[in-house]
Amino acid sequence: MKIAGSVALVTGANRGLGKAYVEALLSSGAAKVYAGARDPSKITDSRVIPVQLDVSSTSDINAAVRQCSDVTLLVNNAGAMLNTPILSPDGVDAMRKEMEVNVFGMASMIRGFAPILAKNGGGAIVNMLSVVSWFTPPFNATYAASKHAALAVSDAARIELRKQGTQVIGVYAGFIDTEMAAPASGPKTAPGQVAARTLEGVESDLNHVLADERARQIYDAVRRDPEQLERTQQEAWDQRKR
């Protein structure tokens, strides 16, 4: 589909990557952009329409479906990352919180807006995933578990919605230079790059968008030598524990 003339809804739009998606959509000629946020007062851009939207809230999602009935492009960007090892004392609680947003929230948004997209000609759904949809870094294992599950949701939705003409795109990146990834060390990708490559993927009818070099490296590593990738994670964990 074409971004120019589209009507988009971006979740988690008040900062970071969500804000970059809004900017990229406007720059690419979107006719209307709904900006979803748990606190819509934080949406101050007069070019967009603020929407009260906590993706873990059924009532918020239902209200957004009613308000945004002309949407042709849904960008599931809202996410939670708590940087928690799986067996830490708060590991299960952290994973539950991340699953609520990253998996159940995303699935609920897809289910709620699928009929809207069908009515409006099919459109597209963008699901912001991660390189950790494909492997498990031990220091951030609960988040990885949620992104593994989110990948399954995204792939299943693509299969189910193809008949109605809805494109479903998974987007993968390493750490992005946002507040969420602030505690992480190492290279980080500019949010604008991720947003730009995502919209290029939408217009090119891709199923999967590798939005940065880290995504391409991990994609290749998982397919070339997954055991080596696992050994690398084991070594990192063992060195940290000494």
Residue 29 backbone class (left: φ over 0; alpha: ψ -120 to 50; beta: rest):
left
Task: Tell whether pTM > 0.75.
Answer: yes
pLDDT score for 229: 95
Q: Which residue's entry shows tokens 């819509």?
A: 40
How many helices (H) and strands (E) the chain has is answered by: 8, 7
242 — pLDDT class (breaks 50, 70, 90) = low
pLDDT at 62 over 70: yes
3-state secondary structure of 119: helix
Structure tokens at 2: 């074409």
Instruction: Report residue 110 as tokens.
Output: 């897809």
User: What per-residue confidence (pLDDT) applies to 90?
Assistant: 96
Residues whose CB is less than 8 angstroms from the CB of residue 71 and which lie 6 or more positions away in sequence, other chains included: 7, 8, 9, 34, 113, 116, 117, 120, 123
pLDDT of residue 186: 72
Mean pLDDT of 106-132: 98
> In the numeric block, which tokens belong to residue 78?
């809202």
For the cut 90, the answer to whether the pLDDT of residue 88 exceeds it is yes
Percent of the chain with pLDDT over 90: 93
Q: Would the pLDDT of 104 be above 60?
A: yes
44 with 78: CB under 8 angstroms? no
Per-residue pLDDT, averaged over 158-177, amounts to 96
State the Rg of the chain over Cα: 17
Sketch out the chain's domains with CATH numbers: 7-241 (3.40.50.720)
| pLDDT tens digit sequence for 1-52 | 999 999 999 999 999 999 999 999 999 999 999 999 999 999 999 999 999 9
Q: What is the chain's mean pLDDT, rounded? A: 95
Q: Which DSSP letter does residue 62 get?
A: H
Mean pLDDT of the region 188-212: 96
**SS3 of 180, please?**
coil
For 111-148, give one letter per residue: b (16+ CB within 10 A) or e.
ebbbebbeebebbbbbbbbbbbbbbbbbebbbbbbbbb
Residues 6 or more apart from 33 whose CB is under 8 A from it?
A: 7, 8, 9, 10, 22, 25, 26, 47, 48, 49
DSSP track, 153-174: HHHHHHHHHGGGT-EEEEEE-S
